Structure 1
Amino acid sequence: MKAWQLQGFGMDNLKSITTEIPTPAKNEILVKVGAVSLNFRDKAIIDQIYLPEIMQFPFTPVSDLAGEVLAIGSEVARFNIGDRVTSHLYGSWIKGKKHTSQTALSGLGGPVNGGLAEYVLLDEQAAVITPSTLTDEEAATLPIAALTAFFALTEHGGLEKGQTVLVQGTGGVSIFALQLAKALGAKVIVTSSSDEKLAKAKALGADEVINYIKTPEWDKEALRLTGGAGVDHILEVVGGENFERSVEAAAIGGQIHVIGFLNGTHSNAAMLTILFKGVRINGILVGNRNAFEQMNLLIQEHNIKPVIDTVYDFENAKEAYKHIERGAFGKLVIKVS
């Protein structure tokens, strides 16, 4: 089979190889990969940003995949041959809000072999049944981007119908947050530097939009749009100084779900504002498998279709990685088979 293998940090160490199709152990399933999708995490691993101390080379990168079960181990109970499945990033995290200190060690696509190959082995705990309404290309977008948004809004946030959600940018997590929040009855504000992307967000159901280039003090605009009350849920994907504005835009008792760090990992947010508003800050590390299965039911019920920016061929995987740097509207997908 053909596969991509990361043999060290840096894009030059992402190599195309040919190797044998693996055989599943007793608790594993062999999946013929239909498609994978890329996340900021995948690029951060290559760039030696994301937990470099736990990476052991070589390994197959990319956490998010969807495909068909071709073979199962002798003790596999959750799947049958022919099932369509989607990977779950942390196979050791089945339920509950809290993960353990060992959770990251079970992460697909680093340090555990991921999906950028024609065939992959998955522990049976590290997969869920694919929603019947989605293609492999669509389902491959779910494991990180969709589940992160859903887990933040539901299990951590306890989102209630009629509450306000602000999503930053129009990348994978943000677009899923828009779609899922609307399905759950929320009002959604989207920020972006592009009027074109904001128009697309409006077409997907956004109630209000803010161009943060034209309106640098977007926090004040968010307060105005909420009648001064502030935002109940903010999905913080930018980090750095942007977090300070998220604090200012939050409602009393509002929640900031910290997901990304595109513009930095440190902030000088006003502690007194956090204190007096009673803002709750949640660090979101994707989510558990039970939440994934609940989300898939919502996706089927509301016929939510993932937004895909571009689909790349397997041979052009490096071009997909480069696309991460310039951003995307929705998700980047690599078709494998």
Structure 2
Amino acid sequence: MKAWLLKDFGLDNLVQEETETPVPKPGELLVKVGAVSLNFRDKAIVDGIYEPHKVPKPLIPVSDAAGTVVATGEGVSRFAIGDRVNSHLYSRWLDGMPGPDEPDYCFGSPLPGGLAQYMIIHEDSAVRAPDNMSDEEASTLPIAALTAWYALVDFGQIEAGQTVLVQGTGGVSVFAAQIATALGAKVIVTSSQDENLQAVKKLGAVAGVNYRSHPQWSEEVLRLTDGKGVDLLLDVAGGDGINQSVAATKAGGRIAQIGFLTGQTSALNLMPLIFRQTTLRGIAVAPRSSFDRMNAFLNEHNIRPVIDHVYPFDQARQAYEHLARGAFGKVVIKIAHD
């Protein structure tokens, strides 16, 4: 099969080659990959800043895939040949709270990912892809949509009428705006680009704050919420900006710490966190049971993924470069089959 292999860190070391098509073992599915979508995690792995000690080389990268089951190992009962499935990042986290070693069983590192014509997914880990979505659309769900869903529903327990702040207009953030709006929440979005703020308002957000023109963006959020702050804040930036996130969240409110776009370390001012009695929770995607519930919700509310651009298989590097520049919604790679 054709596959992209990461031979060493750096995008120049991501090369397309012929490699052996894997054979499914008992309980496993062989999936003909239709499309994959890129997440910041995928870029960070290539750049060597995401648990580099755990990245095998060569590695078939990219965790998030959608495709069709073309062969099954012995004893498979959850899926059959011809079913369309999604990969699930934490391949062994099926329900409840995560175990201590979930990162050891992630697709796209250390397990082989989906940037290839075929991939292996264990039947327990696979998720039925929504019938009303193409492979390109379904490929956007495993990290971006599911992280937003878990932060809003399982952790945030958002109810109609509450207020949610979403940072940026990347994959997780756009899904969060769509899902929170469908839940009846009021969504405020921050971005450095006014045109992206306008675009996300068309998806249901009630207000946008440009953090370039409002460097103290938390003050603007307080103004928009009558001085109270938001019920739930999805922080994708990380770094020292966490202090503004605390300031922008209501007393007793919640922050879902999802990303680290501006830094993996933070100088957190503890007094505001203590006085405001803020809950700060790290969010690393979700169990498979949450994925199953989310797909039903997306179907029910007819929520469609926002895709910035679909690249052909041969242009995988260009897709990574697009992600690095920034995207409104998701960057997708369509897998070529001769």
Structure 1 alignment gaps of length 5 or more: none
Q: Residue 314 of structure 2 aligns with which residue?
A: 315
Matches within 5 A, 1:35-46: 35-46=35-46
| Aligned residue identity for 1:334 | I
1:283 matched to 2:293? no
| Aligned residue identity for 1:16 | Q
Q: Residue 256 of structure 1 aligns with which residue?
A: 255
Q: Residue 182 of structure 1 aligns with which residue?
A: 181
Q: Residue 109 of structure 2 aligns with which residue?
A: 110
Q: Residue 55 of structure 1 aligns with which residue?
A: 55
More divergent stretch after superposition (264-273 vs 134-143)? 264-273
- CA deviation after TM superposition for structure 1 residue 270, in Å: 2.2
- CA deviation after TM superposition for structure 1 residue 269, in Å: 2.8
- CA deviation after TM superposition for structure 1 residue 55, in Å: 1.5
Q: Residue 78 of structure 2 aligns with which residue?
A: 78
CA distance in 2, matches of 1:325, 1:207: 28
Cα RMSD of the aligned pairs, angstroms, is 0.9
More divergent stretch after superposition (313-322 vs 117-126)? 117-126
CA distance in 2, matches of 1:127, 1:225: 42
1:2 matched to 2:2? yes
CA distance in 2, matches of 1:90, 1:68: 20
**Percent identity between the aligned chains?**
54
Large movers: runs of 4+ above 3 Å:
none
Matches within 5 A, 1:194-205: 194-205=193-204
| Aligned residue identity for 2:320 | Y
CA distance in 2, matches of 1:222, 1:258: 18
Structure 2 alignment gaps of length 5 or more: none
- CA deviation after TM superposition for structure 1 residue 19, in Å: 2.1
For residues 317-337 of structure 1, the C-alpha deviation after alignment (integer angstroms, 9 at most, x for no partner) is 000111111100000000014
Matches within 5 A, 1:165-314: 165-314=164-313
For residues 135-185 of structure 1, the C-alpha deviation after alignment (integer angstroms, 9 at most, x for no partner) is 100000000001011111111111122111000110000000000101111
CA distance in 2, matches of 1:235, 1:78: 34
Q: Is the 8 A contact 1:95 1:289 kept in 2?
A: yes
1:12 matched to 2:9? no
Q: Residue 121 of structure 2 aligns with which residue?
A: 122
CA distance in 1, matches of 2:36, 2:159: 32
| Aligned residue identity for 1:110 | S
Secondary structure in structure 1 of the residue aligned to 2:150: helix
- CA deviation after TM superposition for structure 1 residue 20, in Å: 2.9
CA distance in 2, matches of 1:51, 1:124: 27
CA distance in 1, matches of 2:264, 2:90: 23
| Aligned residue identity for 1:20 | E
CA distance in 2, matches of 1:20, 1:91: 22
Secondary structure in structure 2 of the residue aligned to 1:126: coil
Secondary structure in structure 2 of the residue aligned to 1:125: coil
| Aligned residue identity for 1:48 | G
| Aligned residue identity for 1:312 | Y
CA distance in 2, matches of 1:116, 1:12: 16
More divergent stretch after superposition (299-308 vs 154-163)? 154-163
CA distance in 2, matches of 1:18, 1:268: 46
Q: Residue 27 of structure 1 aligns with which residue?
A: 27
CA distance in 1, matches of 2:208, 2:77: 47
For residues 25-67 of structure 1, the C-alpha deviation after alignment (integer angstroms, 9 at most, x for no partner) is 1111011111000000001011111111112212210000001
CA distance in 2, matches of 1:238, 1:20: 39
Secondary structure in structure 2 of the residue aligned to 1:301: helix
Q: Residue 131 of structure 2 aligns with which residue?
A: 132
- CA deviation after TM superposition for structure 1 residue 99, in Å: 1.2
| Aligned residue identity for 1:123 | H
| Aligned residue pair count | 336
- CA deviation after TM superposition for structure 1 residue 240, in Å: 1.2
CA distance in 2, matches of 1:84, 1:225: 43
State the TM-score, normalized to the length of structure 2.
0.98
| Aligned residue identity for 2:24 | P
| Aligned residue identity for 1:30 | L
- CA deviation after TM superposition for structure 1 residue 8, in Å: 1.9
CA distance in 2, matches of 1:249, 1:20: 51
Secondary structure in structure 2 of the residue aligned to 1:256: strand
- CA deviation after TM superposition for structure 1 residue 125, in Å: 2.1
CA distance in 1, matches of 2:296, 2:280: 27
- CA deviation after TM superposition for structure 1 residue 102, in Å: 1.2
- CA deviation after TM superposition for structure 1 residue 277, in Å: 1.0
Secondary structure in structure 2 of the residue aligned to 1:189: strand
Secondary structure in structure 2 of the residue aligned to 1:241: helix
Secondary structure in structure 1 of the residue aligned to 2:124: helix
